[in-house]
Amino acid sequence: MKALAVRFALVFSCGLMMAAPAAAQFWQCAPYARQISGIDIHGNADTWWGQAEGRYERGHLPKPGSVLAFAATGRMRVGHVAMVSRIVSDREVLLTHANWSRRGGIETDVRAIDVSPAGDWSEVKVWYGPQGDLGTSSYPTKGFIYADHGQAPLPPLQFARNVITADGIAG
């Protein structure tokens, strides 16, 4: 009887390991941005802008597939990076990124608006899940890193569950 219980426990625990969703992975913004944009930069997000110099085009106009590099701040010590999913207007884009509204979570097509006085995307507000709207804080950015035109961006990871969108949580 004891051997049967041990076998059952072993089979059950193996089954749980196999059933654990890949979405349980904790994503940091930089590895996720690299995965979905095809921009092959490693390290903390606040180093991406400098590392991109001479390797990738950089600028201050959003383009689909480009990565918006956020500057480090007191609240965001290692910066942040997010891929532009779509251009809505000259001062609004949709971003796909990780580790923003929910630790380790992935968000797709969330609003970001340019609130910089010069309209140069040097300061943005980003949709924040717990509020269900743009956050109250604005964040300084360094600009956009444009994906290498010879390398197609990778599609967003399809195994993610409970992805947060601008409309709520999509299962």
Mean pLDDT of 136-151: 85
**pLDDT tens for residues 13-29?**
444 444 444 455 789 99
Cα 161 to Cα 138: distance, rounded to the nearest angstrom: 28
Name the least confident of 62-66, 110-114, 161-165.
161-165
pLDDT band at 152, cuts 50/70/90? very low
Arithmetic mean of pLDDT, 146-163: 51
- Inform me whether the pLDDT recorded for 159 exceeds 50: no
- C-alpha closest to that of 23 among 86, 115, 105: 105
Condensed to tens digits (0 to 9), the pLDDT of residues 106-130 reads 999 999 999 999 999 999 999 999 9
Q: What is the pLDDT of residue 10?
A: 40
> Residues of the chain with pLDDT > 90: what percent?
70
pLDDT of residue 13: 44
b/e string for 1-17 if b means 16 or more Cβ within 10 A?
eeeeeeeeeeeeeeeee
* Mean pLDDT, the chain, whole residue set: 82
The pLDDT, as a whole number, for residue 25 is 77
Cβ-based neighbours of 153, under 8 Å, separated by 6 or more: 36, 37, 38, 65, 83, 147
